[in-house]
Structure 1
Amino acid sequence: MTPEEAEQARRKYLFRRFWISGRGYWGRNGDKLAWPFTIGLLVLICVNVGFQYGINVWNRAFFDAIEQRNVHTVYMLSAVFVPLVAGSASLVVAQVYLRMTIQRRWRSWLTTSVIARWLASGRYYQLNLVAGDHSNPEARLTEDLRIATESPVDFISGVLNAFLAASTFIVVLWTIGGALTLPLGRESITIPGFLVVTAVIYAAITSTSMVVIGRHFVQLSERKNQAEAEFRYTLTRVRENGESIALLGGEAEERSGIDRNFGHVLRQWALLTGQHMRTAIVSQGSMLFAPVVPVLLCAPKFLEGSMSLGQVMQAASAFAIVQGAFGWLVDNYPRLADWNASARRVASLMMSLDGLERAEESESFGRIRRGETQNGAMLSLDDLSVTLNDGTGVVKETKVEINPGERVLVAGESGTGKSTLVRAVAGLWPWGGGSVNFHAGKRLFMLPQRPYIPTGTLRRAVAYPAAADNWTVDEIDAALDKVGLGYLRDRIEEEAPWDQTLSGGEKQRLAFARLLLHEPDIVVLDEATSALDEKSQDKMMQTVV
C-alpha cells in the first residue's frame, strides 16, 4: 500500500469512527427525545415542500389572471397568497427550532461522552505521553465537535428537502414543458420533458465542476483548523506563563513564535481562499443563469401560443427549485469539507482514547496494578517497574513498604525518574509492571511541584478538589493562617485570576492549606516546597507533621 493509499484508508476509518460514536445519540443509551425531534423535523420538511408546491401552483394561476386581465381573480389570489406565505414561514420557523434543538442536544450528548472518556483514568494527562494525532484536544472538544454535530443535521435535512423538492417539481416541469421539437434541416428532433433534461444536464455540469474544482477543500480545511488550534494554544501559553515571560524579558521571542504560528494560519487561509474563489465562480454563475434558462427555453412555446404566461412563470419557478435541489452540493460543498475535517479531528482524539482504553484492558500490555496492602502497611510498592509507553525502563523493580507514621525521602539526580515514580503512585502513569498498594479505606493526597489553581474564588482554590462550601470561611481562614497566607483572609470570597496573581511560593503554601483541610491518610510530595526558602520549607513540614 502506497503512502497515499494508507492516508486515504486512514481518513475513511476516521470518518467511520466518528459515526460509531455519533450515532449513539439515537441509540438505546442516547437521548430519549432524539427520535421524536428527528421524526418531527422530517415531517415538517415534507409538509413545507407541499406548501412550496402550493405557491408554485399559485404562480401559474396569478400570472394567467394577469395575462387575461382578470381583476377579480388577481385580488382573490392576492388574498390567498398571505396564508400560503404565513404557513410556509411558520413551518420554516418550526424547522429551525427542531433542527437547532437536535444540534444542541446531540452536541451536549457527544461532548459529555467524549469528555467523560478523556477525563477518566488520567487519560487527559496520558495523551501528552503517547504518540498520535490528538494535539490541542481542547480545540477538538469545542469548535471541531460543534461543527461535527451541527453540520450533519443541516446536511441531512437539506438533502431530504432537496430530494423531495426535486421529485415534486420534476413532475411539474415534465407536465408543463412537455416535448420540444427542434427543426434539423428537413428533419426534426423531439425532446420529451426538455425542461427536465435541461435541469439535469445543467445541475450535472455545475455539480461536476464544483467537485473537480473543490477536490482539495477537505485537506485544506483540516490544515487550516489545525493551524488555528495551534495559534490559539500559543496565545494561551503566553497568558498562562505571563509572569515568567515578563521576568525573563521573553516578549520578543514570544512575539516571534506568535508571528510564526499566525503566519502559518494566514498561509493556510490563503490556500483556502483560492478554493473559495474558484467555487464562487461556479456557484455565482449558476445562481445568475438558473432563473433565465427556463424562460429562454419556454419563450418559443409562449410566442407561438402553446404556453400561457402563467405556465412560463410556473416552469421558471419549478426550474429554479429543481436547480436549487440538484445544486445543493454546489452551495454546501465548502461546509461539507469543513465538517469532514472537523469530524476527522474529533475521531482522531477518539482513536487515541480507544488506544488508551485497550491498553488498560489488555493482559499482554505491561501495566502497573493497583491493590490493597497487607499487614497494616499504608503504602507498598511490590516489584514496581516504571517504563515509557515504548517499553524503555525508568524505574526498575522497586520494593518498598511504608507503615503508619513513617516518612520516606526519595532522592536522586534530575531526570532519574522521581516525578515519574510519583505519577505511577498516583495512578497517572500506567506503563510498567508490579503493583502499587494502599491500605484499604485510606485516602491519598498529592502535592505536585506546581499546584493547580482553578478559576473562581480563593475559597474554591483552597478547597480544591472538594467543593468550596465543604468548609466554613473560618476553617479556610485558619488553614491559610497556618501556612503563612493569613493576609489573604479578607479576599477569601473574591473571584480573581489567582493562578496569575499568586507567586510560586504562595501557590505552594496554598497547596499545604488544602492538605490541612482534607486531612488525608497518605501524603505524597513531589518537590512541593521547591519555591520556598529553607526556613519556610522547615515550617511547612513542621505544620503537616
Structure 2
Amino acid sequence: MESEKEHRSSTEASKKKPSKTKVRERNKSKGTVDKVFFRRAWKLLKIVIPSWKSYEVLNLVGLSITLVARTFLSIYQATINGGTVKAIVSRDFKAFVGSVIFLWLFSIPASTVNSALDYFNKNLTMLFRRRLTQHFNSKYLDKMIYYQICNLDNRIKNPDQRLTQDIEKWATSLSNLYSNFSKPLLDIVLLSRKLAELVGWEGPAMMIAWYFVSGIFIRFITPTFGKLVAKQQDLEGKFRSCHSDLLNHSEEIAFYNGARWERKRINNTYDELHQHISKTMGARFYQGIFDSMITKYGAVLVGYTVLGLPVFGRNSEQYLSTVSDDPSQIFRDYIRNSGMLISLAKAIGRIVVSYKEVQNLAGYTSLVYEVEEVLCDLDQGTYKRHIVGGSDKEKVDMSQRGTYFEGDGITFEDVPIVSPNGDLLIRAINFEVTTGMNLFITGPNGCGKSSLFRIMGALWPLFGGKVHRPSNEAIFYIPQRPYLPTGTLRDQIIYPHNKLQMRKKRMTDKKLKELLKIVQLEKYIDKGKGLDEFANWNAVMAGGEKQRIAMARLFYHKPKFAILDECTSSVSLDIERIMYTHSKDLGITLITVSHRPTLWKYHDYLLRMNGEGDYTFEKILKAPKAVQNN
C-alpha cells in the first residue's frame, strides 16, 4: 500500500497540465515522418539499446562488420566476373577453368557472409523485441495497470495486439531499416571510390545526381504510408477483437442464437479492413510505377552513359591505348564496371525508395509509443476516458485523489462512489468493517456496488476521502466467474502461489485434497494424475464447479477479509451453506455483494444502496421470512 507521501506526489503529478507543445505533438496525425516521429523513435531506441555495453550493440558491431565484408566481396566478385568473360572472349580455356574454380571457392566466404547477414539481422530483431517487451511488461504488470488500461482508461482498444504483434513489427522494421540504410551507404562510398579509379569521378557523380533528383521527386509524390500502416494495424486489432469476443462469449451467443448478428459484425469489420488494404495496395501500385521508371529504367539509361565513358569520354584515347584495342580486355572492363555500377545503382536506389520503409517504421512507432505514453500516465495515476453518451448525473473532478491508509479493518471516510464515466453515484459514504463484522452489500444495478468493492480492493482510483484497509495479502476477492489458468489441478487451488510458496505456507497435497472434499469436488482427486493433472480447467469444469474451486482457493489462502461478488450464483443452496459456514469457521470476515436474500443469514451487517445517491448501513437483526424458511 502506498504511503501518504507517495500518494500526494502521485496526485500532484496527475494534476499537472500538459504543455501546449506536448498536446500539439500528441494530436499530430499518426505515422508522419516529422520531428515527433524522430523524438519518439529516439526514446524507444534508448529502451532497446540501453547502453554501449549491451548485447544489442555487440550484435550491431557484428552486423556492421559483415556488411563491410559483403561490400568488399561484391567489388571483388565484379573483378572475377570480368576475368571470366575475358577468358571466354579470348578463348583461353586454361584461364577460364582457373577463373571458374576460383569463383566456386569464392562462393564459400560469400555464402557465409550472406548467411551471417541474415542471422545478425534476425537476431537483432529478436533482441529489440525482447528488450521492448520486457520494458512494457514491467510497467503493464505493475500497480494493476493491466487492469486499469482496460477498465479505467480506454485510449488503447486492443492492448494484447499492441504488446505482441505491433512490437514484433516495430522491431522487425527497425532492424531492417539499419541494414537497408547502412549497407547501401557503405556500398555508395566504396563503389564510388573504386569506379572513380576506373571511369573517372564523372561516372559515380552522374549516377548519384540522378538518384538525388529522383529522390526529391519521389518524396513529393509518395503517399503517407505510415498513416496507412497505423490504420491497418488498428483495423487488424478490431477484426481480431471480434473473434476474441465470439470465443469468450460463445455460450451466451449460442443461447441467444446470435450467430447471424455476429457473422454480420465480423464480415463488416473484415470488409472495412479489406477496403483499407485494397486502398493501400492501390497506392503502392501507382507508387511502384514511378519507383520502377525512375530508379530502374531511368538508372539504366544513366548506367549505359557511365559505361561508355572509358570508350567515348574525354580520357578515351588514354584508355584505348592501355588496352591496345583488344576487344576481350574492353569486354572484361565493361563486365567489371557494369557489375560495380549495378551494385552502386541498387545501393542508391535502396536509399531513395527506403523512405517508404521509414514511413512504415513511423506508423509502427506511433502505435508502440502510444502504449508507452498510456503506461506512463497510468503509472502516475492519470486516466483518460472517451465517454460515450451523456448522463444527467453530477460529474466529479477525476484529477482529485483521496488517500489509502493501511489498517486492521476496512473504513470508508467521506469516500465518493464514482462510475467509470465519472458519474457521481454517492457523494460520500462512511462505514467501518472490523474483523468478524460480516457485511452484506445489496442494491439495484448501477447503484455503485461494483465501484465500492473495487475501491476496497484498491483496484479503483480514490477520487476523495480516506480509505483504511489491510494489506493486499489480507483481502481476497472471489468473482462470479473465477479465473482458472491452464495448469495443474493444484495450480487452481493455490493460485497465484507456486509449489515453493505452498510449502512455505506448510500446506500439503493431503490438505489440498481435503479442501476439494469440503467443496464436494473429490471426483477430480482420483481422475488422471490427481492434483498433477494438467488441463484447461476453464473448459473442463462447469460453472458451479468453477465457483467451488474458487472457494477452495479462498480456504487455502485464508485471508482476514473476503470480498465475494455473486460467487455462489451457480451452486445449490446446500453447497452455498457449506462454503459460507466453512469460511466463517476459518475466521474469514465475509463481504458479500449479491442480490440473493438466502445469503443474509450468514452476515451481521447490511449496506443497502438505493441507486439514487443514498445508502443505509445497519445491523441485520432478523433475516426475511423467505430466508428463514430455507
Asked if TM exceeds 0.5, the reply is yes
User: Residues 14 and 348 of structure 1 are in contact (CA less than 8 Å); yes or no, is this contact kept in structure 2?
Assistant: no
For residue 556 of structure 2, what is the aligned residue in structure 1? 517
Which of 479, 483, 507 aligns to 1:448? It is: 479
**Counterparts of 2:533 and 2:354 in 1: how far apart (Å)?**
49
Q: How far off its partner does 1:126 sit?
A: 1.2
Matches within 5 A, 1:463-482: 463-467=494-498, 470=502, 472-482=508-518
For residue 447 of structure 2, what is the aligned residue in structure 1? 416
Which 10-residue stretch deviates more, 71-80 or 119-128?
71-80
Deviations 1:391-422 (A, max 9, x none): 54344333332222221122222111111111
User: Residues 31 and 363 of structure 2 are in contact (CA less than 8 Å); yes or no, is this contact kept in structure 1?
Assistant: no
Which of 490, 501, 506 aligns to 2:545? It is: 506
**Counterparts of 1:425 and 1:4 in 2: how far apart (Å)?**
38
User: Residues 173 and 318 of structure 1 are in contact (CA less than 8 Å); yes or no, is this contact kept in structure 2?
Assistant: yes
**Counterparts of 1:132 and 1:240 in 2: how far apart (Å)?**
20
User: Residues 414 and 428 of structure 2 are in contact (CA less than 8 Å); yes or no, is this contact kept in structure 1?
Assistant: yes
Instruction: Pick closer, same or farther for the CA change 1:72–1:416 going to 2, 3 Å.
Output: same
For residue 488 of structure 1, what is the aligned residue in structure 2? 524
Q: Is 1:153 matched up with 2:175?
A: yes
Matches within 5 A, 1:244-283: 244-283=252-291
The alignment partner of 1:383 has SS state of strand
**Counterparts of 1:231 and 1:275 in 2: how far apart (Å)?**
23
Q: Is 1:61 matched up with 2:83?
A: yes
Instruction: Pick closer, same or farther for the CA change 1:468–1:408 going to 2, 3 Å.
Output: same
For residue 176 of structure 1, what is the aligned residue in structure 2? 198
For residue 90 of structure 1, what is the aligned residue in structure 2? 112
Which 10-residue stretch deviates more, 412-421 or 166-175?
166-175
Matches within 5 A, 1:361-372: 365-372=399-406
Matches within 5 A, 1:247-326: 247-285=255-293, 286-287=295-296, 294-295=303-304, 298-299=307-308, 302=311, 306=319, 308-326=330-348
Deviations 1:270-312 (A, max 9, x none): 1111123223334555456656753465358558885611221
User: Residues 70 and 110 of structure 2 are in contact (CA less than 8 Å); yes or no, is this contact kept in structure 1?
Assistant: yes
Letter of the 1:214 partner, please give it: T
**Counterparts of 1:251 and 1:390 in 2: how far apart (Å)?**
31
The alignment partner of 2:168 has SS state of helix
Q: Is 1:77 matched up with 2:113?
A: no
Letter of the 1:478 partner, please give it: E
Which of 199, 203, 210 aligns to 2:207? It is: 199
User: Residues 303 and 341 of structure 2 are in contact (CA less than 8 Å); yes or no, is this contact kept in structure 1?
Assistant: yes
Deviations 1:213-256 (A, max 9, x none): 43231111111111111111111111111112112211111111
User: Residues 389 and 431 of structure 1 are in contact (CA less than 8 Å); yes or no, is this contact kept in structure 2?
Assistant: no
User: Residues 476 and 562 of structure 2 are in contact (CA less than 8 Å); yes or no, is this contact kept in structure 1?
Assistant: yes
Letter of the 2:406 partner, please give it: E
Instruction: Pick closer, same or farther for the CA change 1:458–1:329 going to 2, 3 Å.
Output: farther
Q: How far off its partner does 1:47 sit?
A: 2.4
The alignment partner of 1:327 has SS state of helix
For residue 23 of structure 1, what is the aligned residue in structure 2? 46
**Counterparts of 1:298 and 1:533 in 2: how far apart (Å)?**
90
Instruction: Pick closer, same or farther for the CA change 1:142–1:48 going to 2, 3 Å.
Output: same
For residue 56 of structure 2, what is the aligned residue in structure 1? 34
For residue 248 of structure 2, what is the aligned residue in structure 1? 240
For residue 184 of structure 1, what is the aligned residue in structure 2? none
Instruction: Pick closer, same or farther for the CA change 1:443–1:96 going to 2, 3 Å.
Output: same
**Counterparts of 2:452 and 2:577 in 1: how far apart (Å)?**
24
**Counterparts of 1:198 and 1:89 in 2: how far apart (Å)?**
32
**Counterparts of 1:393 and 1:472 in 2: how far apart (Å)?**
48
**Counterparts of 1:332 and 1:298 in 2: how far apart (Å)?**
26
The alignment partner of 2:332 has SS state of helix
**Counterparts of 2:265 and 2:288 in 1: how far apart (Å)?**
34
Instruction: Pick closer, same or farther for the CA change 1:292–1:59 going to 2, 3 Å.
Output: farther
Q: Is 1:51 matched up with 2:87?
A: no
Instruction: Pick closer, same or farther for the CA change 1:340–1:290 going to 2, 3 Å.
Output: same
Letter of the 2:174 partner, please give it: P
For residue 183 of structure 1, what is the aligned residue in structure 2? none
The TM-score, its normalising length taken from structure 2, stands at 0.75
Instruction: Pick closer, same or farther for the CA change 1:235–1:366 going to 2, 3 Å.
Output: same
For residue 461 of structure 1, what is the aligned residue in structure 2? 492
Instruction: Pick closer, same or farther for the CA change 1:354–1:367 going to 2, 3 Å.
Output: same
**Counterparts of 1:336 and 1:132 in 2: how far apart (Å)?**
29
Q: How far off its partner does 1:171 sit?
A: 2.3
The alignment partner of 2:278 has SS state of helix
User: Residues 457 and 472 of structure 2 are in contact (CA less than 8 Å); yes or no, is this contact kept in structure 1?
Assistant: no
**Counterparts of 1:96 and 1:338 in 2: how far apart (Å)?**
21
Letter of the 1:509 partner, please give it: R
Q: Is 1:227 matched up with 2:227?
A: no
User: Residues 302 and 312 of structure 1 are in contact (CA less than 8 Å); yes or no, is this contact kept in structure 2?
Assistant: no
Which 10-residue stretch deviates more, 307-316 or 286-295?
286-295
- Count, aligned residues: 525
Instruction: Pick closer, same or farther for the CA change 1:348–1:120 going to 2, 3 Å.
Output: same
**Counterparts of 1:3 and 1:44 in 2: how far apart (Å)?**
42
For residue 426 of structure 1, what is the aligned residue in structure 2? 457
Which 10-residue stretch deviates more, 408-417 or 82-91?
82-91
User: Residues 103 and 153 of structure 1 are in contact (CA less than 8 Å); yes or no, is this contact kept in structure 2?
Assistant: yes
Instruction: Pick closer, same or farther for the CA change 1:540–1:389 going to 2, 3 Å.
Output: closer
Instruction: Pick closer, same or farther for the CA change 1:227–1:133 going to 2, 3 Å.
Output: same
For residue 469 of structure 2, what is the aligned residue in structure 1? 438
**Counterparts of 1:454 and 1:436 in 2: how far apart (Å)?**
32
User: Residues 418 and 451 of structure 2 are in contact (CA less than 8 Å); yes or no, is this contact kept in structure 1?
Assistant: no
Instruction: Pick closer, same or farther for the CA change 1:119–1:428 going to 2, 3 Å.
Output: same
**Counterparts of 2:270 and 2:421 in 1: how far apart (Å)?**
34
Which 10-residue stretch deviates more, 235-244 or 397-406?
397-406
**Counterparts of 1:61 and 1:508 in 2: how far apart (Å)?**
80
Instruction: Pick closer, same or farther for the CA change 1:202–1:442 going to 2, 3 Å.
Output: closer
Q: How far off its partner does 1:167 sit?
A: 1.1
Unaligned runs of at least 5 residues, structure 2: 1-19, 321-329, 384-397, 585-630
Letter of the 2:487 partner, please give it: G
Identity of aligned residues (%): 22
User: Residues 215 and 353 of structure 2 are in contact (CA less than 8 Å); yes or no, is this contact kept in structure 1?
Assistant: no
User: Residues 381 and 436 of structure 1 are in contact (CA less than 8 Å); yes or no, is this contact kept in structure 2?
Assistant: yes
Instruction: Pick closer, same or farther for the CA change 1:68–1:291 going to 2, 3 Å.
Output: farther
Q: How far off its partner does 1:204 sit?
A: 3.7
Letter of the 1:482 partner, please give it: I
CA RMSD of aligned residues (A): 3.2
The TM-score, its normalising length taken from structure 1, stands at 0.86
